[in-house]
Amino acid sequence: MKRAFAAGVTLLLALPTASTLWAADQRLDIVAPWEIKSADPATSGYVFGRMRVAETLVDTDAEGQLAPGLATEWQVSDDGLTWRFTLREGATFHDGSAVTANAVLTSLEAALAKPGILDSAPIRQMSADGRDVVIALDSPFSPLPALLAHSTALILAEAAFDAQGDVVAMIGSGPYQVEELSPPQRLTVTRFDNYWGGAPAIASASYLAVSRGETRALMAESGDADIVFTLDPASQARLSRNARLTLHSEPLPRTIMLKLNAGHALLDDARARQALSMAIDRQGIAAGLLRTPEAAAAELFPASLGPWHLGLEATAAQDIEGAKALLAELGWQTGSNGMLERDGEPFALTLRTYADRPELPLVATALQSQWQEIGVALEVAVTNASEIPSGHHDDSLEVGLSGRNYGLVPNPLGSLLDDIGSDPDAMGSDWGTMNWRDEDVAQWLDTLRQATDEQALTDLAPLVAERLHQEMPLIPIAWYQQTAAVNQQLEGFSIDPLERSYRIDQLEWAE
């Protein structure tokens, strides 16, 4: 009996002891759904970028335009093949070492060695030249600075890497430094007093990954969290009545869209793809499932992407009779069961989607019933996100439903070159178009890739967007909204539409 008692006491002593008070402290507590995998920017860079621990060479301003980061300026040679980034004077890493061109090279080379956004740039060689980082390309590539703003290209101190080039510690140069990192859920940071931009107002902050939406909403309500990102529609209504919280919402350049296999016998005619698009009730999906009517999207790019946005009306995009007429032109007739038939074959497709974004399976079933109205039978397979790229490669994919982020880098051109491509013989990619060719679009994107002036963008971006709308290799459905519930005591909060930063260095506690 005594022994059992002693064992019980030992166990109790081994439990975590109280180290923090929860609600009433001055630490800024942030809660979001995304888990931390490791200290490596290749897998979890977004968390360290958003928590302002590490920075990139190129930053973005409040409007989402490129702005100086660790590099204060950059130039490209006349032939477009050599980029020169000049580093900021006086920037230091959290371990006290200076941000030098060699340190930047170590980070960028490590980033290049792993799958990431830099893959898509034709980088031949990188070198250091005094305070400049010089990047030589095989062919001109205008979105390079935008790629360098991505969280997989964070700049870390040389001490962050081991001999094999793997990241062993997160040592950045941002206004906050890591205090404790415990994957997969928690990160705490403290103010970095030697930050080149001046130390921020709030002394310490924490990040907690909470995957359940109900829990996140309750944490906002109970005061456990000061900022809670990504609220489910039902909780939003309840939280908006809470006097201690303010609700923020901002459209993101992330589009819910269908990727169609344009090489598939049922989908190889643009009219068939148009008909499928016309049968979709976008307004219904946005208002009923996403609870944000303004999210309905008749085009891929939202207004925040400037010249890429056409200003199409989502309600006008639905036309059931028009869709039926287009399909009749292609020889489809309504069979005895109300479904379309051609030469005895049904119009039947399988859609793949994934549940990492919880609204996608809901949207998929809505599409299933909406397409049934024009006689198209859709089977929905909810699977792993990787089934879409793997289906692209083995050509087994028919329709894929995904949420594609065109603001992955500040300029959607980077994503488009990846998703659609500028080589007329090899267009399309894992998350972009599939078996679809268009010489003009390839030509325009290639011109944009090499362009050094703004005029080309203003001229060509609408042409690309218009052609994509006519040809429908990708069917847009809705845009995402980022939502946040924020403690009333916090001042200076804003949502970054590119999701690069939580902007915690701009916040302060009200008096």
Chain residues in the site for another protein (CB under 8 A)? 8, 11-12, 14-23, 34-35, 37-38, 40, 42-43, 114-117, 119, 152, 166, 182-186, 208-212, 214-215, 218-219, 221-224, 354, 356-357, 383-387, 389-390, 392-393, 402, 405, 408, 429-431
Minimum distance from residue 214 beta carbon to another protein (Å): 6
Q: Phi and psi at residue 109, in whole multiples of 5°? A: -65, -40
Minimum distance from residue 389 beta carbon to another protein (Å): 5
CA-based torsion, 146, 148, 152, 155: positive or negative: negative
Q: How far does CA 329 lie from the centroid of its chain?
A: 39
CA distance 154 to 108: 8
Minimum distance from residue 296 beta carbon to another protein (Å): 23
Minimum distance from residue 456 beta carbon to another protein (Å): 27
Minimum distance from residue 18 beta carbon to another protein (Å): 4
Q: How far does CA 362 lie from the centroid of its chain?
A: 20
CB 110 within 8 A of CB 96: no
Per the omega criterion (within 30 degrees of 0), is the bond before 200 cis?
Answer: no
Listed residue (245, 209, 204, 244) closest to 230, CA to CA: 209
CB 74 within 8 A of CB 84: yes
Which 3 state secondary structure label does DSSP give 414? helix
Nearer CB in complex with another protein: 202/220: 220
Minimum distance from residue 469 beta carbon to another protein (Å): 24
Instruction: Give CA separation, 389 vs 112, 218, 232, 351, 429, in Å.
Output: 21, 36, 28, 13, 8
Across the chain, how many H-helices and E-strands are there?
A: 14, 21
Minimum distance from residue 221 beta carbon to another protein (Å): 5
Nearer CB in complex with another protein: 390/447: 390
Nearer CB in complex with another protein: 195/207: 207
Nearer CB in complex with another protein: 185/470: 185
Minimum distance from residue 195 beta carbon to another protein (Å): 26
Nearer CB in complex with another protein: 138/162: 162
Nearer CB in complex with another protein: 115/198: 115
Q: What angle, 0 to 180 degrees and rounded to 10, lies between the N-to-C axes of helices 454-471 and 270-278?
A: 90
3-state secondary structure string, 102-142?
A: HHHHHHHHHHHCCCCHHHHCCEEEEEEECCEEEEEECCCCC
Nearer CB in complex with another protein: 57/409: 409
Listed residue (90, 86, 61, 91) closest to 74, CA to CA: 86
Minimum distance from residue 181 beta carbon to another protein (Å): 12
| 53 Rama class: left (phi>0) / alpha (psi -120 to 50) / beta | alpha
Nearer CB in complex with another protein: 222/315: 222
Query: What value, to the nearest 5°, has the Cα angle with vertex 234 and ends 507 and 252?
Result: 50
Nearer CB in complex with another protein: 61/214: 214
Residue 178 is encoded by which pair of tokens?
């890591």
Nearer CB in complex with another protein: 128/385: 385
Q: Are strands 204-209 and 399-405 parallel, antiparallel or unpaired?
A: unpaired
Listed residue (192, 195, 291, 288) closest to 239, CA to CA: 291
Minimum distance from residue 129 beta carbon to another protein (Å): 30
Minimum distance from residue 86 beta carbon to another protein (Å): 29
Nearer CB in complex with another protein: 430/505: 430
CB 229 within 8 A of CB 496: no
